[in-house]
Amino acid sequence: MKKNYTLNPKPYNLVIGWLYPELMSTYGDRGNITVLQKRCEWRGIKVEILNIDQTTTNGDLRTVNLLFGGGAQDREQEIVMRNLQDKKEAIVELIEKDIPALFVCGAPQLMGKFYEPAEGKRIQGLGIFDMESRHPGPNAPRLIGNVIAKISEESIKYNVSSITYEKEEKILNTEYLILNTIVVGFENHGGRTYLGKDAKPFAKVLKGYGNNGEDGTEGVVYKNAIGCYLHGPLLPKNPQIADYLIAKALEVKYKKEIILEPLDDSIEEKAKSAIAERLGIAL
C-alpha cells in the first residue's frame, strides 16, 4: 500500500557507483544513471556519481550506496572482467551489506558464476548470482526485441532487507514500490542465462525472450541486487524501479524507513503503455 510521506529532514546524499561507463553502456544504458540522478535531485537528495574503472580503489568502492552496471559486448566484458577480479571482495561486500544494485545484460552475466562468450574462453564471474550464462556460438540467433515482464512477487516479497531501524527492531519494507509491477524493456543478447536452483528470477516474461527464451524467467534477484536483460534504457520507462533502488539505498545508509515524495510520472507511464500496447498487453 502506498503511503504519502515526504522525505524529511534533508539533506540526504548518495554515492552511485557506475561500473566501467566507457566499456559497459550498450543500448542507452547510461540513461539509467541520468534517471537515478534526476529523481534524487528533484527530491533534494544530493548525488555523487562514482565512475568505476581501472583506477578505482576498493576504498572508493566501499563508499558506494547504489551500484549500476550496464551491458557490454563480449570483447569489452572480457576486459572488464580481468579488472573486476581485483574488486571482487569490495563488490561482494557491498551486495552482502544490502546495497541495492541494478545490473543490465552484460553486467549480470559477469556477476553470475561464469559467462561463455560466442568465441574464446569462459569468463569467470564474481559468483554473486547463482546462475550461468552461455553464448551458443557466433551463428546462434540473438534474442532481440521489446520485452514485457511482471516482477515476480516471490522474488521481491521475501527479499525484505535485513537492516533495522536505529532504535526499533523492525524490518524495513520498500517492496510495495514494485510489487506486481509490469516492466518493459528492450533486449539484445546472444548469451542465454540459466538460474541455479536457489536463484530467484526478477520477473516472469509475458512477451519476449528473457533469460534464455525457454523457461519464462527474466533476470535474477539476490538480496537488493537486481540483474536483468532489460535495456532501453530500463529506468526511464519503469520509474518505480528507480525509486525502489533509491529508497533502498537511503534505507540502508540512514537505517530508517524511507518513503519517497511522489513525482509526476505521466510521461514515463505513457512511454511504457506505448510499448505494452505495441506488444498487445493492456497495462
Residues that bind ligand GLN (CB under 6 A): 26, 71-74, 77, 105-106, 135, 188-191
Least Cβ distance, residue 5 to ligand GLN (angstroms): 37
Select 25 or 159, whichever has its Cβ closest to ligand GLN: 25
Select 72 or 84, whichever has its Cβ closest to ligand GLN: 72
Select 112 or 190, whichever has its Cβ closest to ligand GLN: 190
Q: Spot the catalytic one: 40, 135, 228, 231.
A: 231
The residue whose Cβ lies closest to ligand GLN is: 71
Q: Determine the residue type at 269.
A: E
Select 43 or 135, whichever has its Cβ closest to ligand GLN: 135
Least Cβ distance, residue 8 to ligand GLN (angstroms): 39
Least Cβ distance, residue 53 to ligand GLN (angstroms): 17
Active site residue 231: yes
Active site residue 135: no
DSSP string, the chain: --------SSPEEEEEEEE-TTTS--TTTHHHHHHHHHHHHTTTEEEEEEEESTT--HHHHTT-SEEEE----HHHHHHHHHHHGGGHHHHHHHHHTT--EEEETHHHHHHSSEEE-SSSPPEE----SSEEEE---TTSPPEEEEEEEEE-HHHHHTT----B-SSS--B---GGGTTT-EEEEEEEES-EEEE-TT-B-SEEEEES-TTTSSS-EE-EEETTEEEE--BS-HHHH-HHHHHHHHHHHHHHHH-S---PPP---HHHHHHHHHHHHHTT---
Select 119 or 277, whichever has its Cβ closest to ligand GLN: 119
Least Cβ distance, residue 220 to ligand GLN (angstroms): 15
Q: Spot the catalytic one: 40, 105, 135, 189.
A: 105
Least Cβ distance, residue 6 to ligand GLN (angstroms): 37
Q: State the first-to-last Cα distance of the chain, in angstroms, to the nearest integer.
A: 19
What residues are annotated to the active site? 105, 231
